[in-house]
A = this chain, B = another copy of it.
Amino acid sequence: MKKILLASFTFVLSFHFFAQDNDTVILRKIYDYYLTQSKTYSNLEFLATKIGGRLSGSPEAEKAVQWAKKVLYEAGADTVYLQPCMVPHWVRGKVEDCKLISPKLNLNKKLAIVTLGSSVATPVNGLTANVISVNSFDELEKLGTEKIKGKIVFYNVYFDDKKIRQGAAYGEAVVYRAYGASRAAKYGAIGMLVRSMTSNRNNSPHTGNMKYDTTVSKTKIPAFALSYLAANELSDALQKDPNLKVYLKNESKNLPDAPSFNVIGEIKGSEKPNEYIIAGGHLDSWDNGQGAHDDGAGIVQTIEMIAMFKKLNLKPKHTIRCVCFMNEENGLGGAYAYAKEAEVKKLKHITALETDAGGYTPRGFGVDTLNGMHKLVSKFEGLLKPYFIESIKPGGGGADIGPLGKLGVPLIGFEPDTQRYFDIHHTADDTFDKIHKRELELGAAGIGSLIYLIDKYYK
Contact = CB atoms under 8 A, between A and B. Distances in A.
Nearest to A440: B419
Contacts of A162: 31-32, 35-36
For A35, A164, A166, the residue with the greatest tally of chain B CB atoms inside 10 Å of its CB is: A164
A327 interface: no
A164 B388 contact: yes
Given A363-B390, A388-B164, A388-B363, A438 B199 contact: yes
Nearest to A164: B387
Interface string A11-32: 0000000000000000000011
Nearest to A441: B161
A436 B390 CA distance: 22
A8 to B, nearest CB: 34
A420 interface: yes
Interface residues of A, number: 27
A447 to B, nearest CB: 15
Contacts of A32: 162
Given A388-B363, A390-B391, A161 B438 contact: yes
B164 A36 contact: no
Given A161-B35, A162-B31, A164-B387, A361 B438 contact: no
Interface in A404-424: 417, 419-420, 423
Nearest to A391: B390
B417 A436 contact: no
Contacts of A420: 436, 439
A263 interface: no
Nearest to A422: B438
A175 to B, nearest CB: 22
Contacts of A419: 361, 436, 438-439, 442
Given A361-B417, A419-B361, A436-B419, A442 B35 contact: no
A386 interface: yes
Interface string A356-372: 00000101100000000
A380 to B, nearest CB: 16
A386 B438 contact: no
Interface in A372-396: 385-388, 390-391
Interface of A: 31-32, 35-36, 161-162, 164, 166, 199, 361, 363-364, 385-388, 390-391, 417, 419-420, 423, 436-439, 442
